[in-house]
Amino acid sequence: MTTIIEKPQPSAFYRWLVLIFVSLAMFGNYYIYDSINPITDLLKSGLGFSDSDIGSLNTAYSIAAIVILLFSGMIVDKYGTKNTTLFFGILCTVSALVTALAPNYATMILGRVLLGLGAEPLIVAITVTLAKWFKAKQLGFAMGMNLLIARFGSWTADRSPSFASGLFDNWQDPLLLAFAVSITCVIGAVVYWFLETNAEKKYSLGEVGETDKFNIKEIFKFSKSFWLILALCVTFYSAIFPFRTFATKFFMEAHNLDRIDASGLNSFLPLASMFATPLIGLLVDYKGKRATFMMFGSLLILPVYLLMAYVDLAPLSIVVFGEYLYLPIILMGIAFSLIPAIMWPSVAYIVEEKRLGTGYAIMALIQQAGVASMNWAIGAANDFSGANVSNPDGYNLGMWMFSALGILGFIFAFFLRREELGPNGHGLEKGITSE
């Protein structure tokens, strides 16, 4: 008679050790992506880039991400999170080096394409990792902590003109700094690979399940709530990330800030989310009301762009970074904390486990399609309107475009809440204390 010895669950310490190192890989990933934000004006003066060219750098990233995300869910499901995290982490570091050494626009586009091929599948792999290690064990809080560390990468990139000011005499030195930081992608992925390899021998780990084949019929078997979350995802991120691409330049030219203060103002978004996101994740783990909170976050973002474009906010301001931190940035920071902290963990509740990698990949794919379109569209709108330091009103067209996305996001969040309160809900409004 064969005795089956049941393996123990990994300890809380081991789980959080895994989270720290996969989040370290995310830190490097986020830094690379945002490293071009503080140098948009240097790309114009040093390489002769237009706003359309600058927007196209992130559009190239997103198009590459769309292509790889068609397959990344299946890749993660088939080859496992530890292997895919390592492979895509290395690719992110290579992309940072190519971008930093680019002698021209075409080579820099290649670097951003490589980043898109590596960064988004890396995020999918790490998201599935957290779902595997933390489901039913404070998943929302774990994903919030992951975003805290990842967005610290964005914040650090935005603040780089202050702590590495000597590098900002040209466009290339800040990108070489980004390459140095990107090595954390490899370090985090390598340590995680060894941690999970060891855990597979000693512990009982969550299973992703049998891999589904990827086909159109299976895609449309996802629930209505999934598609509403996806729609909110694409409108929300398309209103946030393309704004951040041009925000430093916008604050310098439309609000007369210097580079350090403008990038500091832009850094408030990841800074606010770093600390608020894990707390919000913990709150909804216990209290629920996920759809309600997402609708509230969508409401907050509605007025922010038109306030920045048309309203004199000095009487409503507080002094930060030596200049004004405007009310709309505070509202945007709260929304940037609230929605992602709830949206991504919610997918684990409404998509069956064996399709989780594919579900996250579809969300990331459609999100990147929206972000790609808006990065290009905002750059083209700025060029069309002649947005520059002598014509700050040229930015207003783009602000109206962002506002339209905010309205759509609120509509999708409203219908998501209505769906979850009905008979086909998945428990997004329920928390640990209500079960």
- Give a yes or no: residue 2 inside a domain: no
- Give a yes or no: residue 273 inside a domain: yes
Q: Which pTM value belongs to this model?
A: 0.77
pLDDT at residue number 213: 40
pLDDT < 70: residue spans in the chain: 1-6, 135-137, 204-218, 312-326, 354, 357, 426-427, 429-435
- Give a yes or no: residue 3 inside a domain: no
Short-list 161, 83, 82, 72, CA closest to 119: 72
- Give a yes or no: residue 4 inside a domain: no
pLDDT at residue number 432: 54
How many C-beta neighbours within 10 Å does residue 62 have? 28
Report the C-alpha gap between 432 and 435 in whole angstroms.
5
Judged by DSSP in three states, 320 sits in: strand
Q: How many domains does the chain have?
A: 1
Report the C-alpha gap between 107 and 169 in whole angstroms.
21
pLDDT at residue number 424: 74
Report the C-alpha gap between 68 and 361 in whole angstroms.
9
Domain limits for position 401: 12-434
- What's 374's domain CATH number? 1.20.1250.20
Short-list 130, 128, 167, 121, CA closest to 149: 130
Tokens of 132: 């595997």
Report the C-alpha gap between 54 and 353 in whole angstroms.
39
Q: Give, rounded to a whole angstrom, the gap between the first and last alpha carbons of the chain.
A: 41
- Give a yes or no: residue 6 inside a domain: no
pLDDT at residue number 323: 44
Q: Are 76 and 128 in contact (CB under 8 A)?
A: yes
- Give a yes or no: residue 38 inside a domain: yes
Cα–Cα distances in angstroms (integers) from residue 111 to residues 14, 33, 57, 239, 364, in the given order: 35, 11, 9, 24, 20
- Give a yes or no: residue 7 inside a domain: no
- Give a yes or no: residue 1 inside a domain: no
